[in-house]
Amino acid sequence: MGIDYGQLHDPNADYTMRELSEETMELTRSRGETRDVSITDVQTTMIDGNFPWTLVRVYTDAGVTGTGEAYWGAGVPELIERMRPFLIGENPLDIDRLYEHLVQKMSGEGSIAGVTVTAISGIEIALHDVAGKILDVPAYQLLGGKYRDAVRVYCDCHTEDEADPEACATEAERVIEELGYSALKFDLDVPGGRETDRANRHLTDSQIDHKAEIVRTVTERVGDRADVAFDCHWSFSVGSAKRLARAVEECDIWWLEDPVPPENIDVQREVSRVTTTPIAAGENVYRKHGQRRLIEDQAIDIVAPDLPKVGGMRETRKIADLADSFYIPVAMHNVASPVATMAGAHVGAAIPNVLAVEYHSYELGWWEDLVEETVIDNGMIEMNERAGLGITLDLDTVAEHMVTGETLFDPA
């Protein structure tokens, strides 16, 4: 049987195709109008939390406003004010281009690392909130969609006496049982044991024994109920770090964080290679370029970027992608308000290799009041269908906790 060319050229079929084409064109036109948006202003308000949180607002001529947050650091609001003219009139949907634009424009101020990158991070997060709202999609959708419907949160824990192993173990149980977390972190750069000279970074055997006792007491009491990490805050010499990491190998901890200073990647790798204790680092280096050698040299077992410091949401995604090509998971360092914590959750939802996002404010008492929505519930952040970051600032709470001398940014 041959082809019925008459049917293919059915005038009615052609008519239908023309109609569809008109419809498609109309849809394209209306979307084009939605996407013809300009940034009209950028403002900041600093909150006096357990860290100074710089909230960033990007305003547009579409009546849509986005909120971001920059990690703390002297001069961050001033740097954002410096960048304001580079953003006015630009299309907020071009997130990647605007990020690179700011990096280039601020190269003189030092946009390879430090507070300039922190300031750019706050703007970049706000752009994701704006873009999601304009396109009516959650921010994770802008990053490629979801791997998971909820992102795990780990709770940074503190006690009155951080050097007391039993006090740490009791607090671990309380956070598991009362707050619902299954992932915890404690500080391990605490006093205890015979100290000789802190400046030389050397740990005596009795100091190692004391730290191992904290780790053992907490992990034994917690059992299978939670994963527990321990943070050393870049404190120890390479030899001491190796001895400490080996001394806690039997405890099966989640990770040992920053046992040595952050500058020397070769030393970082040396420590990671001699122990089965997983070593995490990364909160003190910036952008994908700063994280690259940590990952490519396999100097760490877990990478720990701080999203509102390292460069923002897409930069964290890029770091996570690089880490994933070396089969390295991501634990997001985070001391932020609900704004950047949600940004972390959106990235965490959109990357394969996330372990968890940190929560560092359980002693504050009003962290969750900053936004109208529930953020952390039972140690998890549920992702939802709300556009952008999916949160609404409670401006009364923001105003109540502003740093002295701050003025509140425009409501919308």
Q: What type of residue is 185?
A: K
Note whether 146 and 348 are within 8 A (CB): no
The correct pick among 124, 156, 187, 231 for binding Mg ion (CB under 5 A) is: 231
User: What's the token pair of residue 78?
Assistant: 């001033």
- What's the min distance (Å) between Cβ of 368 and Mg ion? 23
Instruction: Find tokens 């939605």 and name the residue.
Output: 34
Using alpha carbons, select from 268, 308, 311, 304 the residue that is nearest to residue 288.
311
Q: Which residue is nearest to Mg ion (CB)?
A: 231
Measured from the CB atom, is 69 or 231 closer to Mg ion?
231
In angstroms, the CA 383 to CA 389 distance is 10
User: What's the token pair of residue 396?
Assistant: 């009364």
Q: What type of residue is 144?
A: G
Measured from the CB atom, is 135 or 267 closer to Mg ion?
267
Measured from the CB atom, is 124 or 231 closer to Mg ion?
231
- What's the min distance (Å) between Cβ of 267 and Mg ion? 17
In angstroms, the CA 134 to CA 357 distance is 27
- What's the min distance (Å) between Cβ of 283 and Mg ion? 5
Phi/psi of residue 55, nearest 5 degrees: -85, 140
Binding mask 257-296 for Mg ion (x = CB under 5 A): x---------------------------------------
- What's the min distance (Å) between Cβ of 223 and Mg ion? 24
Measured from the CB atom, is 124 or 257 closer to Mg ion?
257
Cα-based angle 213, 218, 224 (whole degrees, multiple of 5): 135
Measured from the CB atom, is 305 or 388 closer to Mg ion?
305
- What's the min distance (Å) between Cβ of 412 and Mg ion? 36
Taking CB under 5 A as the binding criterion, the range among 10-18, 241-249, 255-263, 295-303 that sits at the site for Mg ion is 255-263
Please report which helix (H) or strand (E) contains residue 74, including its range.
none
Q: What type of residue is 118?
A: T
Instruction: Tell me how many residues contact Mg ion (CB under 5 A).
Output: 2
Measured from the CB atom, is 213 or 257 closer to Mg ion?
257
Positions that interact with Mg ion (CB under 5 A)? 231, 257
